[in-house]
Amino acid sequence: MEQAVCRARAERRREQRFATEVSATLNWEGTSQPVQIRNISIYGALVSGAWLPVVGERVTLIADYLEVCGTVIWNGPDRCGLLLSHAVDPQAIVCQEHNEVSDARLLTLREILPGHYA
């Protein structure tokens, strides 16, 4: 008889996620709702809010230093996951939360290898 092995589900994300608490607006189908960005990566974001779109809905996420289109890829009672349409700089969003970004000291990251920035 074959032996079954149970293992914890491995984290399969390619890009690092950054925890944050940034206020933003999520727009879709003529609806505009305030949300909180709970975490963000180069191509994805977790947002929470009172009323959120369904899976498959095309949305626009807007915050200071950020405006990006995306698609809802999962949702729950008060949060949803977004697949962003293009790469964003998650560090700029995290810095926004801590008020570390100023017009005089903007940090620009360049991709030096696939998925590695400096």
Residue ranges of domains in the chain? 19-99
Q: Give the residue, 58 or 10, on which the prediction is more confident.
A: 58
Q: Which CATH number fits domain 19-99: 2.40.10.220, 2.20.25.90, 3.40.50.10170, 2.40.160.20?
A: 2.40.10.220
pLDDT in tens, 46-85: 999 999 999 999 999 999 888 999 999 999 999 999 999 9
- CA 65/CA 98 separation, integer angstroms: 13
Q: Count Cβ atoms within 10 A of the Cβ of residue 54 and give its class: 0-12 exposed, 13-18 middle, 19 or more buried.
A: exposed
Apex CA 66: angle with CA 64 and CA 67, to 5°? 120
Token pair in block for residue 53: 């779109």
pTM exceeds cut of 0.75: no
* Confidence class for position 117, pLDDT limits 50, 70, 90: low
